[in-house]
Every structure is written in C-alpha cells, then in structure tokens.
Chains A and B, each alone.
Chain A
C-alpha cells in the first residue's frame, strides 16, 4: 500500500509541475474577448435577469416555508385527533 501512495504523490507532483510549465499569461484583452461565450445573459439588459433570479428565489423560499408550516399544522391536527 505504501508503495502505491508514494507513486500517487509522485505522479501528482509531476503533473502539477507539468501544468505549471504550460502556463500562459492571462492578459487584459482576455477579459474583453467577445468571441468566447460566457454566461453573459445574466449580465445583459441592465442585469434584469439577476433581479428576476433574486425575486424568484425569495418567492420559492417563502413558498417552501409555507409548505413546511402547513406540515406542522397537519401534525398538530393528527396528534389532536389521536388524543381524542
């Protein structure tokens, strides 16, 4: 087992060395590169989609909370019925 461990660590080390050797510098133009597709929809149109995402998330949260509250009410009703 020990041997395998050493081999693993060694190969990982070699891989990271190899990766660092291939590094290319990121330049300022890369950030303004329009030819590469990124998740731009969320940033377009004055970021309205972000607002939609926030509001929808809030609504989902409140809905889930209401569903959980309803479950609690159901439990109470059940235990009340069993007591009778």
Chain B
C-alpha cells in the first residue's frame, strides 16, 4: 500500500472531476439547475464512506479471526476517515437541500437515516475510547463495528426505499433518476467516486502509519 501510483491516480481523478464536473455539459433540469453538478461532489462522499466502512468490517472480522492487532488499527482508521466523509456528505447535502428542497433539513428518511448512521459510528469511537485495556478495546470495538455496519446498510439502502423520500431513487420520487444517470454524467461521476475513495484511503494509510509509530514509541517507553 505504500506505493505512490494509486495516490497519483486518486489525485488525478479528483482533479479531472473538479474541472469536468463544473464545466462539462449537464442536463438542464427544473429546480436543480446547475446544482445537479453537486452529484459529482456530494454523492462520492457517501460512496467513499460505504466502501471504506465495508473494508473496515472486513478488517474487523479478520482481527477477530486472527487476533492480529494490525487489522484492528486498519479497521478503526478506516472508520475515522469514513466519519469525515460522512460528516462532509451530511453538510454538503444540507447546503444542496437548502436550495432545492427548500430547507437544510426536511426530515427526509435518508437524511434521518444517515444522521443516525453517523451517531452509531460516533458511539463506536466513544466506546473504544472508554476502554483502557488495548486487547478488550480491540475485541469489543471489532464486534461493535460489525453490528454498526449491519445497521447502517439497511438504514441507508433499504429503509428509505420503503417510504417516500426526497432523495432520488427512493419512494415515489423520480429526482434525476427518472432520466437515468446518462453516459455523460457517468463519465464524471464514477471517476469522482474512485478518486475520492482513493484520497480517503490515502489519508487512512497515513493515519495507520502514525498509529504504528505511536504504538512503537509506547512500547519503548
């Protein structure tokens, strides 16, 4: 993971989406107007978050199976970056909603669900910090992480679809999903998802390395 090529790809992809996302032609839709471009910036936060949380759960399971502390460090740092992405996703979503749905928070099921999801992961951080024994901290943290993930996925992807939601693709709301993500939007959107995820993994990698350095220093003291 210490190679640089994937970091360069990540930077290049985000760089491309910043320019293409703002300048390429976008469908002219009522109410959304130019804000449809926010899709290239707001949605990748959530995609990146879910991808990194999935990786985190896999590392938590691997930790529980092997007892290797390394995997636990991977899991917690992935969650940390995911929380950053999630908070940014919430804030950018609120800005977007303020100008398209009329209010920053309209109690939309997906909005509520993602807020609850964030709280669940805040609790994960709190839970870990309240346990002093490193072994116990890792084990309880890993189990909690699995439960948190198992709660988050239905919260984000199943429950909002069962009711009416302002978010596109949920309930009776067509949003711009009625137009289907057309090829030109995809040309920016998917690179954005990959690029931002790679940026997130890069930040995570740095924090993992710092955490290893810290534990080494702690050992020597």
Binding site for B on A (CB under 8 A): 48-49, 51-52, 55-56, 59, 63, 66, 69-70, 73, 76-77, 80, 83
Contacts and interface: CB of A to CB of B under 8 A. Distances in A.
A66 B210 CA distance: 13
Interface string B10-30: 010011001100110000000
Given A63-B11, A66-B206, A55 B22 contact: yes
Interface centre among A48, A51, A55, A73 (most CB of B within 10 A): A73
Interface of B: 11, 14-15, 18-19, 22-23, 202-203, 206, 209-210, 213, 216-217, 220
Interface of A is mostly: helix
Consensus secondary structure, chain B interface: helix
A56 B15 CA distance: 7
B19 to A, nearest CB: 6
Given A48-B22, A56-B15, A80 B217 contact: yes
A78 to B, nearest CB: 11
Contacts of A63: 11
Given A59-B14, A63-B11, A66-B202, A77 B19 contact: no
A73 B18 contact: no
